[in-house]
Amino acid sequence: MTKFEKLGLDQKLLDTLDDAGFTTPFPIQERTIPILLEGSDVIGQAHTGTGKTAAYALPMLQLIIAKQGIQGIVMAPTRELALQITAEINRYAKNTGIRTASIYGGQGMGIQLDALRKKPEIIVATPGRLIDHLKRGTIKLNNIKHVVLDEADVMLDMGFIEDIQFILDLTPEERVTSLWSATMPQEIMRLAQTNMNSPKKILVDSDDLSGAGIDQSFLIIKDREKPKFVLDFIDGNIGQCIVFCSTKIRTRDVARMLRKAGKKSVAIEGDMSQNKREDSMQRFRKAKADILVATDVAARGIDVPEVALVINYDIPNQDMVYFHRIGRTARAGAKGRAITLVSYSSVGEWNEIKKQTKVKMTDLNEKLGVEFKIPDPLKRRAMPGRHFNRSKTSGRRFTGRHQNARDQNARDQYDKRKKVQHVTTRSYFSKKKRW
């Protein structure tokens, strides 16, 4: 196995890695660190949890000189990811004298100005807030040696490409640039061609978009049945859990439902204040909360090693988002599970996502004995009493005894439907198969 000392890192960084218990690099680190140390540009295709932060942070820390102003800049799509990257860089930098500052929207400008007065060498920033500082003149990029674009495909989806180009145009041409993305759409490749100098392409797990190594399953149920099943699955889980929802309102509702059920849950979504979002993430990372309920954007890039279960409360709007979601579990070789709750109205979209997976999924309807019957709107009968093709007698009203009999019949049918037994998942989890 390749050791870190064979990659060209200096002794200060090696000592820090050794103290942290890191001796063997991940594949992405083994392949990219020597290239970046040589001063070459890199395009890295890798997912969160593969060690890519260290892959670009360690060479940057080695080549940056302390107390000579801002020399490195890392751009990230979300506040949470910016804070996570900053914490990791600081972890590796403890013996170097190099300081890092986080710059992101939602935090008071005064706090960030105080951080900048300490003259950090590395800035980790979201593009929008970085531009605010550039226009104010509180950050200058004329001494930049290293630029990192992390989660570039997410920044593309969020509409940051023009902002990124604006920022890159202000940096020196003689710099080392690395771009990291789970996917490589054409817009990202054009950005790379325009702003990078003969980059080396490093593809690690580029084909692993199937969720291989993750126990994937799905359950088709009515939307109103989801809370019950979520609670059952969480009760059967050992370890932390992330529940993904499609909207901010749904995120709040599900988090509230879990707390009412006595679960230690927190939420992150776009309308929350930055302080509340940071508090939620801190509680989840420190295991003070077992469950994180989140939207896709809010949770993108979050790396929490102890996540054993991902629940898709709503199916994502595209297959790539599905793979990013379930990739929050099974980190660094650990095992994990992913369960998707599919409402009747989303079966078609779910079937399209399933086609992209390369592993067999468990059908929980079959395994748990949960039946479902999706009504065909073309076969629905007209509501009782609504006659669109009137006959000669259509004007007759049901009165007296006839009306009472009709109402009683409707009530009997309703009661019959309510009595259909619903198989619970608790019996399934009680057979010494605790997750």
What single letter denotes the amino acid at residue 54?
A
Q: How far is residue 72's CA from residue 82's CA, in Å, rounded to a whole number?
A: 14
State the pTM of this model: 0.64
| E strand or H helix that includes residue 188 | helix 186-195
| CATH topology agreement for domains 4-203 and 214-375 | yes
SS3 of 282-321: the string is HHHHCCCCCEEEECHHHHCCCCCCCEEEEEECCCCCCHHH
pLDDT, position 127: 96
User: Could you tell me how many residues make up the chain?
Assistant: 435
Q: What is the pLDDT of residue 333?
A: 52
Instruction: Average the pLDDT over each of 126-130, 260-264, 275-279 and give the range with the smallest value.
Output: 275-279
The predicted pLDDT at position 389 comes to 43
The mean pLDDT value for 407-422 works out to: 52
Architecture of domain 214-375: 3-Layer(aba) Sandwich (3.40)
Label the pairing between strands 240-244 and 307-312. Answer: parallel
Q: 423 pLDDT exceeds 90?
A: no
pLDDT at 326: 86
Domain-by-domain residue ranges, the chain? Answer: 4-203, 214-375
Q: Are strands 336-343 and 307-312 parallel, antiparallel or unpaired?
A: parallel
Whether 140 has a pLDDT exceeding 90, the answer reads yes
How many angstroms separate the CA atoms of 331 and 224, rounded? Answer: 32
Determine the Cα–Cα distance for residues 57 and 399; give it in Å rounded to an integer: 81
Highest mean pLDDT among 178-182, 309-313, 413-417: 309-313
Q: Give the pLDDT confidence of 159-186 residue by residue, as tens digits.
A: 999 999 999 999 999 999 999 988 788 8
Query: Does domain 4-203 sit in CATH 3.40.50.300?
Result: yes
Whose CA is closest to 302, among 323, 320, 284, 279?
A: 284
